């Protein structure tokens, strides 16, 4: 394991020392204090740091293994689910064979919650929990890196270039194959970055990276070793929807979008604490890979992710709003009219939708609407592209 020491999660023998270090980390304690008591932390920072450390010390007493750490995290998850969701459901777990390890390739809507919800389902069903791929762009602060690696996260080096990037990609591929070979489940997003526009597409470059570890083998054979299972996360409400819309609007205007040190942390906290409504986690079927073309395998993953996405009234209402405003292309307009003709909203759904939309700034509303409506358009395209069954 020495070759993976810079990217792998922490191991049991390292847990206690890392926790003890975190309990004295001034920056982490300040962040926690600001989160739980924003006003008091501004007025009396030493007191709130002391309170945060005292609380954490109590919660982490006796924790000296990854499994014990995950029990603590599960308690936080229970409270978060109760506070921010109206329901949490799952499907497809019958597709998973006990004792087999999988690479779960997931659509990506939320930085922290996507793998957290998949992990939660596996944890409560008695399966091995995940090792989670996380980009080093999210780990600018050492305490964040420590926290992630305590929760079985491993690091994807995205900031390197040239030969360093090739070496990092090879090491990452070898590590993921190592995880599967040693009975560890793995989660990775289908592409770099969240789908801010609501379009879930797998990047073929991801699949090329995954195959590097066994590049002397045919591409499809190398990927088949990983037992790839597509996973779909469906959020009724995206807690970061307006943040994403503002970013897309800024980029579209040509003004550019500059992140500061707090941008990703703000998105993580908003995603955790924001309203999500009904959430569904759908496990697909393990891929049967019969192609050596990355684009073909990506299309296989996309087909399952899109087919398993649970559309809600907000998705159809957003599409109807785009249609009424004349913001759809001609092909999209034809699709929308056909789909909306077969759909009717639940009672009070339109009123709740209008209230949410009113709180979105006028100049970003189109991007906000698109992020919800694109799921309907993708599902419609998938249905239309499927071959007709023989009569």
Rounded to whole angstroms, the Cα distance separating 104 from 112 reads 15
Rounded to whole angstroms, the Cα distance separating 114 from 117 reads 6
Question: What per-residue confidence (pLDDT) applies to 385?
Answer: 62
Question: What per-residue confidence (pLDDT) applies to 1?
Answer: 52
Concatenated DSSP letters of 46-94: HHHHHHHHHHHHHHTTT--SHHHHHHHHHHHHHHHHHHHEEEEEEE-GG
The dihedrals phi and psi of 378, each to the nearest 5 degrees, come to: -65, -45
Percent of the chain with pLDDT over 90: 82
Rounded to whole angstroms, the Cα distance separating 35 from 49 reads 11
For the stretch 287-340, pLDDT in tens is 999 999 999 999 999 999 999 999 999 999 999 999 999 999 999 999 999 999
- The CB-side HSE value for 294 (13 A sphere, CA atoms) comes to 13
Burial class (CB in 10 A: 0-12, 13-18, 19+), 325: exposed
Rounded to whole angstroms, the Cα distance separating 87 from 82 reads 9
- Find the DSSP H helices in 201-285: 204-211, 219-224, 241-253, 263-273
Q: Average pLDDT in the 67-80 region?
A: 90
Q: What share of the chain is helix, strand, coil (3-state, %, to 5)?
A: 55, 10, 30
For the stretch 327-383, pLDDT in tens is 999 999 999 999 999 999 998 999 999 999 999 999 999 999 999 999 999 999 887
Q: Which residues on adjacent β-strands are paired with residue 131?
A: 186
Rounded to whole angstroms, the Cα distance separating 118 from 276 reads 15
pTM of the full structure: 0.93
Contact 302, 200 (CB under 8 A): yes
> Domains in the chain, start-ordered, CATH in brackets?
65-307 (3.40.1130), 313-385 (no CATH)
- The CB-side HSE value for 356 (13 A sphere, CA atoms) comes to 25
Question: What per-residue confidence (pLDDT) applies to 106?
Answer: 98
Contact 198, 371 (CB under 8 A): yes
């Amino acid at each position: 394991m020495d070759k993976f020491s810079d990217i792998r999660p922490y191991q049991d023998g390292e847990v206690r020392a890392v926790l003890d270090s975190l309990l004295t980390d001034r920056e982490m304690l300040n962040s926690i204090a600001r989160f739980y008591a924003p006003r008091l932390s501004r007025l009396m920072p030493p007191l709130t740091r002391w309170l945060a450390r005292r609380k954490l010390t109590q919660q982490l007493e006796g924790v000296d293994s990854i499994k014990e750490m995950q029990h603590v995290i599960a308690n936080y998850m229970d409270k978060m689910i109760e506070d921010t969701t109206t329901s949490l459901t799952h499907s497809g777990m019958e597709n998973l064979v006990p004792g087999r390890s999988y690479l779960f390739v997931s659509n990506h809507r939320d930085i922290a919650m996507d793998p957290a919800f998949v992990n939660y389902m596996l944890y409560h069903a008695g399966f091995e929990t995940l090792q989670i791929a996380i980009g080093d762009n999210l780990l600018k602060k050492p305490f964040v890196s420590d926290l992630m690696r305590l929760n079985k996260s491993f690091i994807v080096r995205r900031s390197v270039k040239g030969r360093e990037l090739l070496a990092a990609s090879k090491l990452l591929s070898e590590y993921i194959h190592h995880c599967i070979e040693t009975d560890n489940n793995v989660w990775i997003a289908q592409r770099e970055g969240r789908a801010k526009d609501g379009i879930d597409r797998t990047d073929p470059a991801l699949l090329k990276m995954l195959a590097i570890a066994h590049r002397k083998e045919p591409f499809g054979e190398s990927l088949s070793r990983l037992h790839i299972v597509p996973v779909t996360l469906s959020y009724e409400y995206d807690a970061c929807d307006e943040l994403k819309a503002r970013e897309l609007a800024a980029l579209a205007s040509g003004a550019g979008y500059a992140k500061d040190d707090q941008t990703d942390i703000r998105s993580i906290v908003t995603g955790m604490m924001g309203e999500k409504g009904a959430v569904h986690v759908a496990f697909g079927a393990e891929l049967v890979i019969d192609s050596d073309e990355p684009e073909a395998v990506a299309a296989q993953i996309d087909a399952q992710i899109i087919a398993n996405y649970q559309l809600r009234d907000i998705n159809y209402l957003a599409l109807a709003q785009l249609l009424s405003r004349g913001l759809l292309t001609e092909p999209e307009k034809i699709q929308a009219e056909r789909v909306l003709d077969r759909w009717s909203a639940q009672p009070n759904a339109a009123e709740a939708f209008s209230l949410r939309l009113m709180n979105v700034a006028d100049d970003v509303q189109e991007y906000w609407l698109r992020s919800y409506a694109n799921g309907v358009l993708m599902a419609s395209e998938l249905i239309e592209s499927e071959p007709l069954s023989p009569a």
